[in-house]
Amino acid sequence: MRRGKTKERLFQVFLYGVMVLIGVITLYPFLNVLAISFNDALDTVKGGIYLWPRVFTWNNYREVFTYPNLVIGFNMSLLRTITGTVLGLISTAMVAYVISCREFIARRLVSALFILTMYVSGGLIPEFMLVRKLGLMNNFWVYILPGLISGWNVFVIRAYMDTLPESLTESAKLDGANELTIFFRIIFPLCKPILATIALFIAVGQWNSWFDTYIYCSGNRALTTLQYEMMRILQDVTSATTSSIYGMNEYNAPRTSPESIQAAITIVVTLPILFVYPFLQKYFVKGLTLGALKS
């Protein structure tokens, strides 16, 4: 019996040790970047910044917001996230609602059209050619339209709608309401938990995407996004580290350095997500589980 107890205690030590270690490994890089972003750039080069800034300064952030590209990028990222989330959510939910209506005669056809997109896609080049043919190059709508609806999201929302009692819509129909009204007045509000989850997924995807800017909109500065600008700075810093391998590491920026700027942008880019996500955590865990177990 005693041996069992020490074994149990050892296991508890191991368990909590591993968990704390995972927590630290996950959080430390963020905290380190946060500390660097608030530390004086010249001082940072000396190294030794871990969790706390040594020479506190706002300069890096001030500098970030003097780069016109970053300001434009911030606004554009915000705009595409809001537009993309609102339009994407309504579209996805509407398709989900229509194919959840059992009496709808084209239901199987429409479902099949969307299911198939989950398994086959045209691929990079045909999609690129399509965007070019449609005249969406260097156009804001290229951020919204090609990825407006994901088949996966449609079926997650539909799975949720199937759990709603049918009597709700039937009484509305007897009152003479059409399906459009039923959708907006009854179904949409009732699906709030799952819609919050999907909205979070769409919003994060929009906020984080950079490749569409890179490939479709790099010719128009007004359409640049924060992630894309960040990517460019990152690639610059990478080449700076590569040059430092050959002993050519010399920053001559007066107030700040690429490294500090990058740290500040990282925080600017990440912060909105950090604010929103803990509030939605209980929803997305439920939504994700429901979606995966149903399919």
Partner 1 sequence: MRPAKGSTQPLIYSMPDPAAPTWGRKIMRQIYQQRYLFLMVLPFVVWVIIFKYIPIWGWTMAFQDYKPHLSFAEQTWVGWKYFVELFHDRQFYLVLRNTIAMSLLSLLCGYTFPIMFAILLNEIGRRYFRQIIQTISYLPHFVSWVVVAGIFTKLLAIGGPVNQLLLALGLTDKPILFMAKGEYFWGIVTIADLWKELGWNSIIFLAAIMGIDGNLYEAAQMDGAGRFRQIWHITLPGIRPVVFIMLIMSIGNLINIGFEKQFLLQNNMVKDYSEVLDLYALTYGIRVARYAYGTAVGIFKSAVSIVLLFLANFIIRRFNDDRAVL
What is the x/- site pattern for partner 1, positions 219-248, by CB under 8 A? --------x--xx--x--xxx-xx-xx---
Q: Is 108 in the site for partner 1 (CB under 8 A)?
A: no
Which among 199, 197, 210, 195 is positioned nearest to 269, based on CA atoms?
Answer: 210
Q: Is 126 in the site for partner 1 (CB under 8 A)?
A: yes
CA dist 152 and 92 (Å) reads 10
**Cβ closer to partner 1: 72 or 110?**
110
**Cβ closer to partner 1: 33 or 217?**
33
What 111-116 contacts at long range (C-beta under 8 Å, 24+ apart), as own/partner pairs, is 114/149, 114/151, 114/154, 114/155, 115/151, 115/155, 116/151
Q: Is 1 in the site for partner 1 (CB under 8 A)?
A: no
Q: Which amino acid is located at 109 in the chain?
A: L
What is the x/- site pattern for partner 1, positions 12-51, by CB under 8 A? ---xx-xx--xx-xxx-xx-xx-------------x----
Shortest separation between residue 134's beta carbon and partner 1, angstroms: 8
Q: Is 142 in the site for partner 1 (CB under 8 A)?
A: no
**Residue where the block lists tokens 């803990």:** 278
What is the x/- site pattern for partner 1, positions 177-216, by CB under 8 A? -xxx--x--------------------x--xxxxx---x-
**Residue where the block lists tokens 């979606």:** 291
Q: Which amino acid is located at 114 in the chain?
A: F
Shortest separation between residue 213's beta carbon and partner 1, angstroms: 11
Shortest separation between residue 274's beta carbon and partner 1, angstroms: 7
CA dist 73 and 139 (Å) reads 15
CA dist 287 and 96 (Å) reads 15
Q: Is 264 in the site for partner 1 (CB under 8 A)?
A: no
Q: Is 161 in the site for partner 1 (CB under 8 A)?
A: no
Shortest separation between residue 62's beta carbon and partner 1, angstroms: 20
Give the pair of three-digit tokens for residue 24.
């630290």
Which among 205, 231, 204 is positioned nearest to 217, based on CA atoms?
Answer: 231
Residues in contact with partner 1, counted by CB under 8 A, come to a total of 88
